[in-house]
Amino acid sequence: MKYVVVTGGVMSGLGKGITTASIGRLLKNRGYRITAVKIDPYLNIDAGTMNPAQHGEVFVLDDGGEVDLDLGNYERFLDINLSSDHNITTGKVYQTVIERERRGDFLGGTVQIIPHITDEIKDSIARAAHKLLDGNHEADICLVEVGGTVGDIESMPFLEAVRQMHGELPRDDMVLVHVTLVPVDTMGDHKTKPTQHSVKALRELGLAPDIIVARSDCIISAATKKKITAFCDVPQRAVISAITAPDIYQVPMEMEKEGLADVVTEYLSLETREPDTEWYRVVSKEYTNRVTVGIVTKYGIEDVYISIKEALKHAGRSLSIEVDIRWFDAESFEPGDLAEVDGILVPGGFGKRGIEGKIRAIEYARTYKKPYLGLCLGFQLAVIEYSRNVLGWGDATSEEMGEGTHVIAILPEQEDVYMLGGTMRLGNWDITLKDGTLTRRLYGTPEIVERHRHRYEVNPKYIPDIEEAGLVFSANCGMRMEACEIDEHPFFLATQFHPEFKSRPTHPSPPYIGFVQACRTNRNSA
């Protein structure tokens, strides 16, 4: 197992996750099997209890892990399925060590950050790295992204663990990549001082970078690279200039041009191989059409909906359709504003705020025959809208939202749940698709597996009435309704599951393909 460890300097938000995923892609293009670990130095056990408005989307894995959104980037770039073990947090590490202490595993000893916490960190990294990919083979290379910025108190034990690994492993089993910022001053000159300082901070922790990825607004000249080389002891070919690419999936190409893959393979003593270009073909497909999708949300923060944005992009790219997104604030938009978009999407969400607006958007989509894609809460609200406006049950609502006729009710197994962390209906569940439905046609198969994250469901009590009125439940998992659609509508599909979590540039998600295609048809006929 070889390791590519990625640290970040100067400030957060430099695109360390995309850099890590892109390095992985470059190596994968050369035929290596890649896995990836994200370290999040916070005390939460996982991202499931964190506010997405502060921390970005909670990404959901096959095994139900609620993890940092960077794992979504790894899955999309590397086309692999990761597990909860691939997201290591301070919370998980301390929990394990403290549980062992209580059991008496260290009896007589003083339990300390070094060696007990650092040993557990190293074990967690190794466990995740060696985990079989899709249950059948081990990776050749494991990417390890250390979250946070070098110098933060939070990340110290992790960097210490990396330092120890560096000493324990053969020299060519680990390469250290440091991502920094090279700002441009008012004269247009690149400034290397912040990079020098962050490398100095890393050195104080006993780590010296092998490669520096320098983020900047414009390409870094040879002279600037030379300066970084002089101050940071990194050869000039290992100083990689990384400007913001028009599309994240182009980043591997930019890094390829900068020779990043050659330096990584050289440091890891891997044989030089010609890269496969399939990825570039997929992500560079020309657009010949465009559509506008309206997303009705309560958070005006795009990072909360990153997987949805990416899934729309993947589906659009595969159809040569560029998807523009217009965001509508669920609490303030006028339904008439939706006339300008080619399709309407209501994403997942929790709590009451904004739901009446979302229901109005769904009513608009249904009655004006605009393509509609509803996801999780967007599925539950579609059932509520139908119950209110087609069945005439004016007080139809979800148990989550308060009093009324609960067409959406708490899942029976959730009734006694009082611990909130990691207790929803999560991850993969097998789903059966009904013959003759749009959902079945889109997937092209009667059985699918998709990822979930919810506590409420369509109330079984009301299913017969709702179906009788014309809403088609096109997918189910036993007694549980998983999708609905409307026959006489050009495209009205909503799912209890989250198909966006499995969408990849190389494997776009069927409901998204159908939706983007329908948006295109709707635009043509408008």
* Contact residues: ligand GLN, CB under 6 A: 348-350, 376-377, 380, 400, 453-456
Give the residue with the Cβ less far from ligand GLN, 41 or 511: 511
Nearest distance in Å: CB 399, ligand GLN: 9
Give the residue with the Cβ less far from ligand GLN, 221 or 423: 423
Angle between helices 355-367 and 377-389 (to 10 degrees): 70
**What 3-state class would DSSP assign to 66?**
strand
Q: Which of 376, 477, 484, 519 is catalytic?
A: 376
Give the residue with the Cβ less far from ligand GLN, 328 or 497: 497
Nearest distance in Å: CB 410, ligand GLN: 8
Chain residue at closest Cβ approach to ligand GLN: 348
Write the Ramachandran bin of 422: left for phi over 0, alpha for psi from -120 to 50, otherwise beta. Answer: left
Residue 376 is among the residues annotated as catalytic for this protein: yes
Query: What's the start-to-end Cα distance of the chain, in Å?
Result: 56
CB 67 within 8 A of CB 46: yes
Give the residue with the Cβ less far from ligand GLN, 211 or 373: 373
Q: Which of 256, 310, 400, 500 is catalytic?
A: 500
Give the residue with the Cβ less far from ligand GLN, 308 or 486: 308
Give the residue with the Cβ less far from ligand GLN, 227 or 454: 454
Record the tokens describing residue 382, joined without a space. 């579609």
- Residue 343's contacts (CB-CB under 8 Å, 6 or more residues apart) are 291, 292, 293, 294, 365, 370, 371, 372, 373, 491, 515, 516, 518, 519, 522
DSSP label of 113 = I
Nearest distance in Å: CB 514, ligand GLN: 20
**What 3-state class would DSSP assign to 432?**
strand
- Residue 153's contacts (CB-CB under 8 Å, 6 or more residues apart) are none
Nearest distance in Å: CB 83, ligand GLN: 20
- Nearest in space to 494 (alpha carbons), one of 382, 396, 400, 348: 382
Give the residue with the Cβ less far from ligand GLN, 26 or 494: 494
The 10 Å Cβ neighbour count of residue 37 is: 26
Give the residue with the Cβ less far from ligand GLN, 120 or 400: 400
Helix (H) or strand (E) holding 403: none
Q: Kindly list the strands in the beta sheet with 456-458, ordered across the sheet, starting from the edge strand earlier in the chain.
A: 396-398, 405-410, 456-458
Distance CA 71, CA 63 (A): 13
Nearest distance in Å: CB 389, ligand GLN: 21
Nearest distance in Å: CB 473, ligand GLN: 16
Radius of gyration of the chain (CA): 25
Distance CA 383, CA 485 (A): 10
Give the residue with the Cβ less far from ligand GLN, 209 or 354: 354
What ranges make up the beta strands (E) of 132-227? 141-146, 174-181, 211-216
Nearest distance in Å: CB 374, ligand GLN: 10
- Residue 230's contacts (CB-CB under 8 Å, 6 or more residues apart) are none
Residues for the chain: how many in total? 526
CB 377 within 8 A of CB 495: no
- Residue 117's contacts (CB-CB under 8 Å, 6 or more residues apart) are 93, 94, 97, 157
Nearest distance in Å: CB 265, ligand GLN: 41
Cα atoms in the Cβ-side hemisphere of radius 13 Å centred on 299: 18
Write the Ramachandran bin of 80: left for phi over 0, alpha for psi from -120 to 50, otherwise beta. Answer: beta
Nearest distance in Å: CB 351, ligand GLN: 7
As annotated, the active-site residues are: 376, 498, 500
